Amino acid sequence: MSLVKVTIDNIEVETEPGTTILQAARKIGGKGVPPAMCFYTSLEGSGGKCRTCLVKVTRGSDKDPRPMPKLVPSCRTVVQDGMVVQNITSPEVLQARRAITGFLLLNHPLDCPICDQAGECYLQDLSYDHGLAETQTIEERRTFVPIDIGDKIKLHMTRCILCYRCVMVADQLTGQRVHGVLNRGDHCEISTFITRAIDNDFSGNMIDVCPVGALTDRTFRFSSRVWLTKPFDAYRDCHKCSGKTVLWMKNDQILRVTGRKDKYGELESFICNDCRFEQKNVEDWVIEGPRIIERHSVISQNHYEQM
């Protein structure tokens, strides 16, 4: 199959047909990659919702060179041969992204000082990169009471940006569907239907796919700021999953176990709840070595040389 050529922010790249603009931009890498708060490669049907990845298509393709009338979600728009895209070179895109960041923060509690996700939060990064320095709102924020969904996962709905990733994990990865979105608009709630606990072997992955601090690990809660722990690649023989994880350690204690994420927050493979929640002794694992975190977030500020 012949490759298609697409130009993003003046950089040309060749990709497989059927690739999205976002994937093509990730192939180029660097600053020109649109932020993606809801898209998740391995979750079918994800993306298109948060609108942070909007880009401008100034030329549709060689066949139909007309520009697209509106900004398009790069995560769900497939590249065409000869397409020209503007991301950070378009003031219009940056302006929209700033507005979208404002929308996402409008009802967000901004409780980073007491949030376990702080330091590895995509909303924090987005606000840092694209947000306004001052708030435009004096309105009261909508709030929800935190609830436990299952005995290992905490839901802070106030922090949720409704990316739907966790719903898709529950839907696509786990057998039984007990978790979805209730209500409408800004009263939407991620919820287990009638507070039924989520109880299956892979539910913990909902924590890993959550871009913000809405779903957190109850076995880790409040035990440390993430950037004070040191990540190590480790594995164990597991008959349920690949057993390949990251251990987040303080001294020789394992504070939390997660899957292995790339710089876009996407997991190499989903891991089982056994590995994630139950194996907190160093003897349970074979440690491969320190994990380098490629993200530009606070979390990458660990200094291995000081260990």
Partner 1 sequence: MGKKLLLQHINEPGIQTFEVYRKMGGYASVEKALKTMKPDDVTEEVKKSGLRGRGGAGFPAGMKWSFIDKKSEKPRYLVCNADESEPGTFKDRYLMEKIPHALIEGMITSSYALGAKTSYIYIRGEYMYIVRILEKAIEEAYANGFLGKNILGTDYSLELYVHPGAGAYICGEETALLESLEGKRGNPRLKPPFPAIAGLYACPTVVNNVETIAAVVPIINNGGDEYAKIGIGKSTGTKLISASGHINKPGVYEIELGLPVEEFIYSEEYCGGIWKGRKLKAVVAGGSSVPILPTNLILTTAKGEPRLMTYESLSDGGFATGTMLGSGGFIVMDETASIVENLYTFARFYHHESCGQCSPCREGTGWMEKILHRIEEGRGSMKDIDLLADIAKHIEGNTICPLGDAAAWPVSSAIRHFRQEFEDHIKLQRCPLSR
Residues that bind ligand FES (CB under 6 A): 36-39, 47-53, 73, 75
Span of 28-36, 79-87, 93-101, 219-227 interacting with partner 1 by CB under 8 A: 93-101
70 forms part of the interface with partner 1 (CB under 8 A): yes
Rounded Cα–Cα distance for residues 95 and 88 (Å): 10
4 forms part of the interface with partner 1 (CB under 8 A): no
Out of partner 1, ligand FES, none, what residue 39 binds, judged by CB under 5 to 8 A for its kind, is: ligand FES
23 vs 279 by CB, closer to ligand FES: 23
Identify whether the C-beta of residue 271 lies closer than 8 Å to the C-beta of residue 245.
yes
Secondary structure of 155-206 in the HEC alphabet? Answer: ECHHHCCCCCHHHHHHHHCCCCCCEEEECCHHHCEEEEHHHCCCCCCCCCHH
167 vs 254 by CB, closer to ligand FES: 167
The CA–CA distances, whole Å, from 147 to 103, 191, 249 equal: 24, 9, 27
DSSP annotation of 78 reads: B
Rounded Cα–Cα distance for residues 232 and 223 (Å): 18
Out of ligand FES, partner 1, none, what residue 162 binds, judged by CB under 5 to 8 A for its kind, is: partner 1
60 forms part of the interface with partner 1 (CB under 8 A): no
68 forms part of the interface with partner 1 (CB under 8 A): no
Rounded Cα–Cα distance for residues 202 and 170 (Å): 8
Residue found under tokens 């041969």: 81
28 forms part of the interface with partner 1 (CB under 8 A): no
Among 27, 51, 218, 236, binds partner 1 (CB under 8 A): 51
Least distance CB 1 / ligand FES (angstroms) = 25
Least distance CB 93 / ligand FES (angstroms) = 13
Burial of residue 143 (CB within 10 Å: 0-12, 13-18, 19+) is exposed
Least distance CB 39 / partner 1 (angstroms) = 11
210 vs 271 by CB, closer to ligand FES: 210
User: 3-state DSSP call for residue 27?
Assistant: helix
184 vs 303 by CB, closer to partner 1: 184
Among 112, 147, 181, 282, binds partner 1 (CB under 8 A): 181
> Interior CA angle at 286 toward 273 and 263, to 5°?
65
136 forms part of the interface with partner 1 (CB under 8 A): yes
Out of ligand FES, partner 1, none, what residue 36 binds, judged by CB under 5 to 8 A for its kind, is: ligand FES
Nearest to 153 by CA among 94, 206, 224, 82: 206
Residue found under tokens 């709630």: 189
Q: Which residues contact 40 (CB under 8 A, 6 or more apart)?
A: 46, 47, 165, 168, 209, 266
38 vs 257 by CB, closer to ligand FES: 38
107 forms part of the interface with partner 1 (CB under 8 A): yes
Q: What is the binding site for partner 1 (CB under 8 A)?
A: 48-52, 54, 70-71, 73, 76, 95-96, 99-100, 102-104, 106-107, 136-137, 139, 142, 161-162, 164, 180-181, 183-188
